[in-house]
Amino acid sequence: MIRDLSRTASSKAKAERALKLAIAQALQTPVGEDLTAKSRFREVADRWLAWQERRVADGERSHGTVDNYRSMLRNHVLPALGELRLHEVTVPRLDRFFVALREKTSAAHARTGRAVVSGILRYAVRHGAITSNPVREVEPIAGGSRNKARALTLDERREWLAQLELDPTAARKDLPDLTRFMLATGARIGEALALYWEDVDLDAGTVRIDWTLVRVRGEGLRRTDPKTPHSQRVLTLPSWAVDMLRRRHKVAMAENRGLASPVFPDVNGNLRDPSNTRRALREARGSEGFGWVTSHVFRKTAATIMDEAGLSARQIADHLGHSRPSITQDTYMGRGVSSPDAAAALEDIV
């Protein structure tokens, strides 16, 4: 069978590369695999996603990451590319798709889409369906650089907490103390909501961050390993945060909630959904003044205060549970326990 192939691109050289790639993919035959260049993109995407879910079970991927992959596939990638044969997923097609995705959403979202599509096609390459990954020839997705994250000033912190305390709904949803804890620790909201009393040492004034809270499809809320191995850490708290936790602990004991219960529970004493909590924060902040505040702002605020207090990048990274600043520091320095200087810097945060 004779079939005409043609490809267009922004330059002759790119068009030639795209044509050569298309020819190679069209000629590709299965080598002991049931995936071929004629397999649907959707089929490969399903297999790739199943592989990612197995990696979650093996502790190599987080539930949140795979949920993001699944959402990107369902909402954007599969509607555009799902029914194409692998040999039809060409550089020009991908270029147009990523441009359209960027215009419809954002540059950051388009880069996520690119990573997902690239992962699927890389999976196809590994299984002998195609010879190379066309995403490698696609122009990088430019623009969309993030604005510098904004931190709360001292006056803003006081005003924010006062606003929460005066809001009956926010107070009932326990937002003031949750905010204080995240300001004191720089913890991610999932880490804060996953904290149990057994992770708190009030005498030592420390908390152990060993878990994060996610919603798993078909299972509900679950405490899982945090974002990265570096996220597991012991934090020394400023004295005002210890006092706040002591008050909460007395209430928890009076309500017969044991050590294996959340420090920041829902109204029934159970684990609290991070998504619902973020929504409660959005409702409490209003549309003006604090309309820019999210739970991540508390984390940025803690980092900014420690930076202004002169703590090193190493100390701040350990306190926040960030990835290592450098391989050298990671190899030769102790990990997992943050400096008490971080607590001192955060002493006057509220």
At 160-170, the pLDDT tens digits run 999 999 999 99
- Looking at residue 61, what is its pLDDT? 75
Q: Which of 117-121, 178-182, 240-244, 267-271 has the lowest mean pLDDT?
A: 267-271
When the pLDDT of each residue in the chain is averaged and rounded to a whole number, the result is: 85
Task: Report the C-alpha gap between 281 and 178 in whole angstroms.
Answer: 10
Q: Is 212 helix (H, G, I), strand (E, B) or coil?
A: strand
Listed in sequence order, the DSSP H helices in the chain are 12-27, 41-57, 63-72, 78-81, 91-104, 107-126, 154-166, 168-172, 175-185, 189-194, 239-254, 274-285, 295-308, 313-320, 327-332, 340-345
pLDDT bucket at 149, cuts 50 / 70 / 90 = low
User: Given a cut of 70, is residue 335 above it in pLDDT?
Assistant: no
pLDDT bucket at 333, cuts 50 / 70 / 90 = very low
Task: Report the C-alpha gap between 279 and 183 in whole angstroms.
Answer: 18
* Both tokens assigned to 161: 């907490």
What does each C-alpha distance from 170 to 21, 162, 246, 262, 279 come to in angstroms? 58, 11, 21, 19, 11
**Among candidates 170, 208, 197, which has minimal Cα distance to 262?**
197
Please give the order of strands across the beta sheet that includes 233-236.
Answer: 200-201, 206-209, 233-236
Section 244-259 average pLDDT: 95
**pLDDT tens figures, 78-124:** 999 999 999 999 999 999 999 999 999 888 889 999 999 999 999 99
Task: Report the C-alpha gap between 250 and 184 in whole angstroms.
Answer: 20
**pLDDT tens figures, 20-72:** 776 665 555 444 358 999 999 999 999 999 999 888 877 777 777 888 899 99
- Looking at residue 308, what is its pLDDT? 86
Domains plus CATH for the chain?
12-137 (1.10.150.130), 154-345 (1.10.443.10)
Q: Is 293 helix (H, G, I), strand (E, B) or coil?
A: coil
pLDDT bucket at 189, cuts 50 / 70 / 90 = very high
**Other CB atoms within 10 Å distance of the CB of residue 59:** 10
Are 195 and 263 spatial neighbours (Cβ–Cβ below 8 Å)?
A: yes
User: Given a cut of 50, is residue 336 above it in pLDDT?
Assistant: no
Are 104 and 147 spatial neighbours (Cβ–Cβ below 8 Å)?
A: no
User: Given a cut of 80, is residue 253 above it in pLDDT?
Assistant: yes
Q: Which of 18-22, 137-141, 179-183 has the lowest mean pLDDT?
A: 18-22
**pLDDT tens figures, 198-249:** 999 999 999 999 999 988 777 889 898 876 777 889 999 999 999 999 999 9
- Looking at residue 58, what is its pLDDT? 76
State what percent of residues in the chain have pLDDT above 70: 87
**Other CB atoms within 10 Å distance of the CB of residue 60:** 10
The predicted model scores a pTM of 0.65
**pLDDT tens figures, 123-133:** 999 999 999 99
DSSP state of 140: P
Are 195 and 168 spatial neighbours (Cβ–Cβ below 8 Å)?
A: no
**Other CB atoms within 10 Å distance of the CB of residue 331:** 9
- Looking at residue 277, what is its pLDDT? 95
65: exposed, middle or buried (C-beta count within 10 Å: 0-12, 13-18, 19+)? middle
* Both tokens assigned to 7: 């490809």
- Looking at residue 288, what is its pLDDT? 76
